[in-house]
Amino acid sequence: MSQPIAFIDLQAQRRRLGAPLETAIRTAVEGGQWILGPQVAQLERDLAAWAGVKHAITCANGTDALLLVLKAWGVGPGDAVFVPAFTFAATAEVVALAGAAPVFVDVLPDSFNMDPASLEAAIALVRKAGKLIPKVVMPVDLFGQPADYRALAPIAAREGLKLFCDTAQGFGGLLDGKRAGAIGDAAATSFFPAKPLGCYGDGGAMFTNDDGLKDLLLSLRMHGQGADRYEHVHVGYNSRLDTIQAAILIEKLKIFEDEIEKRGRVAKRYNDALAGSDRVSVPVVIAGATSTWAQYTLKVENRAKFLADLKQAGVPTAVYYPIPLSRQKAYAHYPSAPIPVSEALSGQVVSLPMHPYLDEASQGRIIAAALASLG
Ligand SMILES: Cc1ncc(COP(=O)(O)O)c(C=O)c1O
């Protein structure tokens, strides 16, 4: 009987990290500063240096990281924030939580990321309707690859909009030598365990080169604190990263670059084996970009059969995302550009097991099962 295949194998990573990880956790526990202990500040320095950005500010999760930046910019009722229709719900959720309107933009069929032409159409639609004021463009680095900021950034600049990168899945990827995290007016990531850089619980971080924004985010994550602990200058949040999680992330960041490379090798093996089949499209990374391969996502013709065949063969799969956000009950009343690509993708995408420690034998079994299903 062959070994079961994991969709993501976090225990393999834990074994690799070994004693230094256990020591880091124990040190954090014994240190007794469980909230905003010294490991949190160290992690923030490490993250900023690693990503090549001036400031990294950690918080409780990726959703808060997105929300805090929008709140810091004063985004609220009457404002429009442009988000892709094909992403995880949190991207649009935070806009609505801030009291603003998410405006849905279609994505590109190959990279799955925000379509610059659709963004322009969505901005024109909002300006013409005259009810909302365009404020922020919020592309997502879906499945690990940076959105096409070469095209998106000039549109945001021309229209006078902030560029805010939801890099919850893409932190650490590269575009023209620049890390996702260091791109845009600000960026936000998630340390949810399944993310390429994840902790052992919830966590998140915000990135910016703007000193004023950094100060405001530090205050907002700590109940709007002023110069003193019990002075409150903003209505804020309780959104801090636990010291234990920071200690874990410090260790994980040391091997992150190597893990991104390993993920790239796994993706290449899939691409080489599957690209020949005309019933499947392998994922495309845009020129000049490196993906962190948060997911390895195919487009298949007959998805129901493919999912059933792989299940039968003992291969776990996942569908990200089965319903575009503008078709979800919670978001259907917000404005949207036409989203034909997001609609098509939601019926075609399938993600295969992806993690840095996927060995060739297991991957061979996954590829064989996929090829057998595709005929
Ligand atoms: C694109 C995207 N944005 C935001 C989030 C929210 O992150 P978190 O789960 O840490 O709140 C996630 C993660 O689930 C995500 O995939």
Mean pLDDT of 250-255: 98
Provide the strand spans (E) within the chain.
55-59, 79-84, 101-105, 133-137, 162-166, 174-175, 178-179, 186-190, 204-208, 280-281, 289-290, 296-300, 349-352
Q: Which tokens hold the place of 104?
A: 């849905």
User: 103 falls in which pLDDT band (50, 70, 90)?
Assistant: very high
Q: List pLDDT tens digits, range 302-350.
A: 999 999 999 999 999 999 999 999 999 999 999 999 999 999 999 999 9
Mean pLDDT of 169-173: 97
Instruction: Kindly state the percentage of the chain with pLDDT values over 70.
Output: 100
Distance CA 118, CA 128 (A): 15
The predicted model scores a pTM of 0.98
Distance CA 37, CA 253 (A): 18
- Residue bearing the bigger pLDDT, 97 or 277: 97
Closest ligand 1 atom to residue 192 Cα is: 10
Q: How confident is the model at residue 166, as a pLDDT?
A: 98
User: 52 falls in which pLDDT band (50, 70, 90)?
Assistant: very high
Q: How confident is the model at residue 81, as a pLDDT?
A: 99
Closest ligand 1 atom to residue 87 Cα is: 1
Distance CA 140, CA 114 (A): 7
Closest ligand 1 atom to residue 169 Cα is: 16
> In residues, how long is the chain?
375
Pocket probe mutation, ligand 1, options 63, 191, 237, max atoms within 8 Å of Cβ: 63
Mean pLDDT of 158-183: 98
| Ligand 1 close to Cβ of residue 192 (< 6 A) | yes
Q: How confident is the model at residue 2, as a pLDDT?
A: 72
On the question of pLDDT at 1 being above 80, the answer is: no
Contact 289, 175 (CB under 8 A): yes
Mean pLDDT, the chain, rounded, equals 97
Mean pLDDT of 125-138: 98
User: 3 falls in which pLDDT band (50, 70, 90)?
Assistant: confident
Mean pLDDT of 243-259: 98
On the question of pLDDT at 44 being above 80, the answer is: yes
Q: What are phi and psi of 248, to 5 degrees?
A: -65, -45
Q: How confident is the model at residue 180, as a pLDDT?
A: 98
Long-range contacts of 232-238 (CB under 8 A, 24+ apart): 237/64, 237/67, 237/68, 238/60
Q: How confident is the model at residue 112, as a pLDDT?
A: 98
Q: How confident is the model at residue 332, as a pLDDT?
A: 97
Pocket probe mutation, ligand 1, options 68, 138, 190, max atoms within 8 Å of Cβ: 190
Contact 54, 211 (CB under 8 A): yes
Q: How far is the CA of 321 from the centre of ligand 1 (A)?
A: 13
**What amino acid occupies position 292?**
T
Closest ligand 1 atom to residue 204 Cα is: 10
On the question of pLDDT at 150 being above 80, the answer is: yes
User: 229 falls in which pLDDT band (50, 70, 90)?
Assistant: confident
Q: How far is the CA of 63 from the centre of ligand 1 (A)?
A: 6
**Exposed, middle or buried by CB within 10 Å (0-12, 13-18, 19+), for 304?**
exposed
Tell me how crowded residue 92 is: count the other CB atoms within 10 A of its CB. 26
Buried b (16+ CB within 10 A) or exposed e, 271-302: eebbeebeebbbbebbeebbbbbbbbbbbbee
Mean pLDDT of 65-71: 98
User: 257 falls in which pLDDT band (50, 70, 90)?
Assistant: very high
Q: Which tokens hold the place of 41?
A: 């500040």
| Ligand 1 close to Cβ of residue 87 (< 6 A) | yes
| Nearest alpha carbon to residue 57 among 169, 154, 145, 187 | 187
Mean pLDDT of 152-180: 98
User: 272 falls in which pLDDT band (50, 70, 90)?
Assistant: very high
User: 65 falls in which pLDDT band (50, 70, 90)?
Assistant: very high
User: 160 falls in which pLDDT band (50, 70, 90)?
Assistant: very high
Contact 206, 187 (CB under 8 A): yes
Q: How far is the CA of 140 from the centre of ligand 1 (A)?
A: 10
| Ligand 1 close to Cβ of residue 60 (< 6 A) | no
